[in-house]
Amino acid sequence: SKTPVGFIGLGNMGNPMAKNLVKHGYPVIAYDVFPEACKEFQDLGAQVTESPADVAEKADRIITMLPSSPNVIEVYTGANGILKKVKKGSLLIDSSTIDPAVSKELAKAVEKMGAVFMDAPVSGGVGAARAANLTFMVGGVEQEFDAAKELLTCMGSNIVYCGEVGTGQAAKICNNMLLAISMIGTAETMNLGIRLGLDPKVLAKILNISSGRCWSSDTYNPVPGVMEGVPSANNYQGGFGTTLMAKDLGLAQISATNTKTPVPLGSQAHQIYRMMCAKGYALKDFSAVFQFLREEETF
């Protein structure tokens, strides 16, 4: 029978991901600061614990899926953190999207304890998490990749080795910076076309067979009424939250500063998503930038 797998952070993404591990027959040892998030897992037969240290005591493979860098640091190095009880030879996989510099620091601390740390952030939203269809971008020691893959294939369909620790995060941050830029570009373009008298469906159709085509125009169009089954068709509910996009763009800015890399459009995108958070769009899907750009002048 399979040995237990710890799972810490059972939110929008962690919940369906951990369920897929249960489905594959792994006994799951669960923890979340928010007790409500664990209840469902108790019913599924998972063991719910009191702290990340408890998880580390009971499982030698642990996946974390937390909001941002400070939460991951707390779960690893806090008073009741994983590092307090981690067993030698344990495999610790962090699938949160965080600062690659933090991943590298944690990898060092984990290595000192005789265990292995890998960063494995994901692409694909809640739907892909449910369908075990995520893409994992994995950074860390290559010899450990197969061991990580054994677990990650239960939750995703594309598991890509990126390089040394932190490079999974690097790939994720780069992807999301481009996604934000293309989403804003699609939204402002669609808005201009509409104000020039074009039917948004006709404009989208033309973009999607022309050189302006991108994922934001053909798979996740931000204009209500152009596509079905996307957040713009449902008042921008669900999907990928504007706060999370703002966080990822902030990470891209930190990385760009650290490497002296000019990212003018990434900076602009970061500011736009920050403004949206401040103006009541925080919990809407990030494609709501279309709505934000449509706000009428009131003075």
| Member of 4, 7, 13, 56 binding ligand NAD (CB under 6 A) | 13
**Residue 11 touching ligand NAD (CB under 6 A):** yes
Q: Alpha-carbon distance 27 to 265, whole Å? A: 45
What's phi and psi for 83, nearest 5 deg?
A: -65, -20
Say what the alpha-carbon torsion angle 15, 21, 24, 26 is, to the nearest 10 degrees. -130
Query: Which region, judged by CB under 6 A, interacts with ligand NAD, from 31-39, 105-113, 219-227, 281-289?
Result: 31-39
| Member of 10, 82, 179, 263 binding ligand NAD (CB under 6 A) | 10
Estimate to the nearest angstrom the gap between the alpha carbon of 18 and the chain centroid.
15
What's phi and psi for 138, nearest 5 deg?
A: -110, 130
Min separation Cβ 238 and ligand NAD, Å = 9
Q: Alpha-carbon distance 172 to 158, whole Å? A: 14
**Residue 32 touching ligand NAD (CB under 6 A):** yes
Reply yes or no on whether 112 is catalytic. no
Estimate to the nearest angstrom the gap between the alpha carbon of 41 and the chain centroid.
21
Subset of residues 41 to 70 that bind ligand NAD, contact rule: CB under 6 A: 65-68
Min separation Cβ 259 and ligand NAD, Å = 21
Residue number, 11 or 185, with CB nearest to ligand NAD: 11
Out of 19, 172, 247, 284, the active site residue is 172
User: How far is CA 190 from each of CA 38, 69, 295, rounded to the nearest angstrom?
Assistant: 42, 35, 14
| DSSP H/E element including 277 | none
Query: Which region, judged by CB under 6 A, interacts with ligand NAD, from 25-33, 112-120, 135-143, 223-231?
Result: 25-33
Q: Alpha-carbon distance 110 to 128, whole Å? A: 30
Min separation Cβ 250 and ligand NAD, Å = 11
Q: Alpha-carbon distance 163 to 144, whole Å? A: 12
Q: Alpha-carbon distance 256 to 247, whole Å? A: 14
The binding track of 225-254 with respect to ligand NAD, each residue x by CB under 6 A or -, is ---------------x---x----------
Min separation Cβ 18 and ligand NAD, Å = 11
In the complex, which residues of this chain contact ligand NAD (CB under 6 A)? Answer: 8-14, 31-34, 37, 65-68, 71, 74-75, 96-97, 122, 125-126, 240, 244
